[in-house]
Amino acid sequence: MRIIGGTARGLKLAEIGAGDAQAHLRPTSDRTREAMFNLLINSHGVAVQGARVLDLFAGTGALGLEALSRGAAQCTFVDDGATARALLRQNIEKMRAMGVTRVFRRDATDLGENRGPGFTLVFLDPPYGKGLGARALASARAGGWLAQQARIVWEEDAPQLPPPGFALRDHRRYGESHVTFLTHEAPDAP
């Protein structure tokens, strides 16, 4: 795994082999990451430059670190796995991104209240086929983690329907992975 574009292009990230099934680590391939970012930037017009990024089920952190390499202002990584957080910290150090990252040991489906501004770009790569993605998005929405019109990039093993409060923007298949692009809509008025 490497950073594909931006200032850290070519940086080799920590190796995990084919993945760690016990820790539910299944890194997004370099080719899929490149396609996702090309689509985000070129087809959807998403400004990665200056974005506040939330990487849920962060694993190795490759998605959030790719965004930082491409000019994101800050990235918060959320993962409750010890193996994932150890790899993530190695990758943050390799990229020298300690000053613009935060790592939370937290269940992405139970985030609680966000104490800062909402995030503008969210990557979501839950363990496949467990229904965790929709639960994580509901938790992020309820806890104020998402900025209005935040863009969500959700990777799963099957196409995903947008949960309440989100609008479908696009869907693509890359090998065994299905990537769903969503926009966060304004919360309903009380």
Chain-centroid distance of CA 112 in Å reads 18
Which one, of 161, 152, 156, lies nearest residue 185 by Cα? 152
pLDDT band at 98 (very low <50, low <70, confident <90, very high): very high
Task: Say what the pLDDT of residue 187 is.
Answer: 62
- For the chain, give the number of residues: 190
pTM of model > 0.85: yes
Task: Say what the pLDDT of residue 171 is.
Answer: 94
Fold that domain 30-184 belongs to in CATH: Rossmann fold (3.40.50)
Q: Which two tokens stand for residue 35?
A: 């396609």
Segments making up each domain of the chain, as ranges: 30-184
Task: Say what the pLDDT of residue 25 is.
Answer: 63
